Amino acid sequence: MTKFDKAKAEIVDEKMLSNGWTRLSNFQIDYTDSEGETHRLQREVYHRTPAATILLYDPKRDTVVLVRQFRLPVFLHGEPAWVIEAPAGLLDGDAPEVAIRREAEEEAGFRVRDVRFLFKAHSSPGSSMELLHFFAATIDTTDRVSDGGGLAHEHEDIEVLEVPLNRAVAMIEHGEIVDLKTIALLQWATLNRESLR
């Protein structure tokens, strides 16, 4: 047992700051640190719901299927706002594998056969409740069932890209891929390429 095992937190108050597309709350917590001192802290938490993301890999052509879409926070940073990403989406009450099969088809146009769960991770644990479930699937051209592009009634405007895996990894270094979940999946693919064949 270390001194950090003694640290604990107690929620004192929660105030909702926004409840639109998702919820933003302000919390007051009493945090007892590893030295046994208690401090009143204030934190904002973005109540993002669980989501899933998938690496679509074609071993015959050594390519990955990625999507490009507008992202407002990147735009607000003054950077190119059409972000290249792995297909992803909210679970919307479904099991992670069900949700990611749906998203792969809606966004990229691929109906995946075998889905492999890789890991789950918190995307930004300092401020967001979002928990991401990471998957991979091998595909080929016969798995394409539509052009993808997202759902019109949700005003999704998604471009589907097929990129050689080595090129996609190089795009990280050149700043063309800046999405963290996509970077994690591409790095995983680089380390585990043989298991995807």
35 labelled as ligand-binding? Answer: no
Give residue limits of the domains in the chain: 3-47, 51-196
Q: Which residue has the higher pLDDT, 68 or 144?
A: 68
CA distances from 149 to 38, 64, 66, 155, 158 (A): 51, 16, 11, 10, 4
The answer to whether the annotation marks 194 as part of a ligand binding site is no
CA distances, 14 to each of 17, 25, 113, 122 (Å)? 9, 6, 44, 21
CA nearest to 181, candidates 55, 49, 21 = 55
* 9 labeled part of a ligand binding site: no
pLDDT digits (tens, 9 = 90+) for 6-55: 788 999 999 999 998 889 999 999 999 888 899 999 999 999 899 999 99
Cα angle 97-101-188, degrees, rounded to a multiple of 5: 70
CATH class of the domain whose range is 51-196 = alpha beta
Predicted confidence at residue 149, as pLDDT, reads 63
Environment class of residue 69 by beta-carbon count within 10 Å: exposed (0-12), middle (13-18) or buried (19+)?
Answer: middle
The model's pTM = 0.90
Contact 17, 25 (CB under 8 A): yes
pLDDT digits (tens, 9 = 90+) for 148-160: 666 555 656 789 9
User: Which among 51, 85, 63 is positioned nearest to 176, based on CA atoms?
Assistant: 85
Does the pLDDT at position 162 exceed 90? yes
- State the Cα–Cα distance between residues 41 and 30, nearest whole angstrom: 6
Q: Is 103 annotated as a binding-site member?
A: yes
- Residues 110-137 pLDDT 10s: 999 999 999 999 989 999 999 999 999 9
Q: What percent of the chain has pLDDT over 90?
A: 73
Q: 164 pLDDT exceeds 80?
A: yes
pLDDT digits (tens, 9 = 90+) for 50-91: 999 999 999 999 999 999 999 989 999 998 899 999 999 999
Q: What is the DSSP letter of 125?
A: T
